[in-house]
Amino acid sequence: MGQLDNKFNFIKEANESLSGKSYMSGWCLASSKKNWNKLNFPRPRNIDQNIPQIFSEEFFAYFEDTDLSFRAKKLGIKFKIVEVPIVHFKKQTSSQLNTYKLYKESREIFIKKWSKIK
């Protein structure tokens, strides 16, 4: 789980519930079909409607999991941390991209969308 400060900067990640502007990290999310259906965006007609689209297309990289978490909280979906062993190969793809630019652009979109929450 991660936490943002009041200016939406990432300040903490932990394997425990966090208060305030917290989110579930997107590289290891799981939920019930009922919850995914609540979070589903309408899909274009030419795409299989049985495949849920839960991540917003507003975000190419960064903040897509944070946006999903904020939408889930708004719908009353509770978070639960389940500890499982995970191997995370950090920055294998992002090391090949201009990650600062991607992060900055996504953060600006996220702030515009969520800046009015307390």
Q: Cβ contacts of residue 103 below 8 Å, gap of 6+?
A: 61, 62
Whole-structure pTM value? 0.77
State the Cα–Cα distance between residues 94 and 71, nearest whole angstrom: 25
Is the pLDDT higher at 87 or at 103?
103
Is residue 67 pLDDT above 80, yes or no? yes
Residue type, 116: K
Whether the CB-CB separation of 65 and 10 falls below 8 Å is answered with: no
The alpha-helical segments, DSSP class H, found in the chain are: 33-39, 64-74, 99-114
State the Cα–Cα distance between residues 25 and 88, nearest whole angstrom: 12
Residue 110 is predicted with a pLDDT of 94
Is residue 109 pLDDT above 90, yes or no? yes
Whether the CB-CB separation of 4 and 11 falls below 8 Å is answered with: yes
